[in-house]
Amino acid sequence: MASPPQPAAYRPATDLLTLGPGFYDPVDPADFPQARLRFRNQRWAERVGLGDLSDDDWTRHFARFAPLDGSLPQPLALRYHGHQFRVYNPDIGDGRGFVFAQLRDDAGRLLDLGTKGSGQTPYSRFGDGRLTLKGGVREVLATEMLEALGVETSKTFSLIETGEALERNDEPSPTRSAVMIRLSHGHIRIGAFQRLAYFQDTEGLKTLTGYALQRYYGDASGDPVRLLDHVVGATARLAGQYMAAGFVHGVLNSDNINISGESFDYGPWRFVPTWDPAFVAAYFDHQGLYAFGRQPEAIHWDVMQLAVALRQIVDAAPLIETLDSFGDRYQRAVTDAILWRLGVIPRGVGDMATIQAIERGLRNEATPLADFFHESFGGRIPKAYGPAYDEARAALAPYRARKQRDAPFWAGPPCAMLIDEVEAIWTDIAQSDDWSAFERKIDQVRAFGSALAD
């Protein structure tokens, strides 16, 4: 039996400072009237060497923002632009968050501790720089579920209630406030490159390209085409993982696409009840631009904007050729991700046809997605799923199971994260400060992740 992983050593970093002051603004955090710890991600705290922090020290760092030893001496709000629903906006940037610290995990990866709801910055415009407690609860639930489903996602590291009453136009107000800490494989967005291109800052583009290649891909070449190639591969993989997870991000603007290919920043997200390509998460997405089935297209479009920015420092032809590889990479990624969720080992021959047959069954029968994957884990679609699945059943027959169904988890009900349950969890918190359903859900999701994991 393998030994459990040992807690990692704390390894602070300050790599962001090497970019220089043209990429960020030092800011001061808000001074909150209270700091009540609501969620602490202990398993990731141990992986970055912070597992031994007392709750008091945790709050001191992640609500009062005392600097972590050896890391960034002051919070930094990053500068970026971006396309929002395909309209370019040069007036954005870190408006209610900042990078608070950098450090390395037990695998040696450079990670950021970034905030959400930590106060106003030069980019807040008319916003108050705050986060609702409901928004924080929803982000915990999203990131925990996505991590369980094998999606490359940021991790919600901390959620602390801050004691302010917030007014919001799109939900009952006043509502409770919070500050959240996100653990992420970098916060460099496509929009950061767009900003530099907007100002025709070619030296800045070269600097940021070299930083991104070296820090997130271990590539010292400084070659913009190589950066685009890495980003195309990573984002195509992410698009495939979204589809296999049945996840709709909701706001796939270019300022919400991380060049490391890691999903982050969850607002109006949803998990689809059934395989419905037209399902939309955001009530304001009137044209369905970021609907479930259009997410690969949306992510590809955003990566095109990175290529447009990089065109200022490299010829167009190799960028276009690299962009054209997105579709094939996505098809391989979504195939591998769905086979992984089904708990079978890819064969290499006929895999895509198998996935297409499964998709046809799911779409034609409107089968509850979580139920289907739960009951078909190991590659055997139950006979209760009718003749619409006969083609998929035959296609899956030659596949070997990746791991055995692990009782008692697979004998129980499927683990889903649909909106009705999310709202019920929040209602318990809002009405009676009852966090028990939230805590039970985190336990269930983590058990689900363990059952799925390699």
pLDDT in tens, 81-117: 999 999 999 999 999 999 999 999 999 999 999 999 9
- Give which of 240, 229, 193 is closest to 323, Cα–Cα: 229
User: The pTM is what?
Assistant: 0.97
pLDDT < 70: residue spans in the chain: 1-6
Which residues, other chains included, contact 31 with Cβ-Cβ below 8 Å and sequence gap of 6+? none
CB burial of residue 148 (10 Å; 0-12, 13-18, 19+): buried
The span from the CA of 195 to the CA of 181, in Å, is 25
- Give which of 242, 320, 318, 311 is closest to 281, Cα–Cα: 242
Q: Which residues does the annotation mark as catalytic?
A: 255
Asked whether the beta carbons of 145 and 417 are under 8 A apart, the reply is yes
The span from the CA of 418 to the CA of 274, in Å, is 11
The span from the CA of 283 to the CA of 296, in Å, is 20
pLDDT at site 407 = 76
Beta bridge partners of 270: 248
Which residues, other chains included, contact 109 with Cβ-Cβ below 8 Å and sequence gap of 6+? 185
Asked whether the beta carbons of 38 and 160 are under 8 A apart, the reply is yes
pLDDT at site 170 = 78
In the block, which residue shows the tokens 């609702």? 132
The span from the CA of 367 to the CA of 286, in Å, is 26
Helix (H) or strand (E) holding 395: helix 390-396
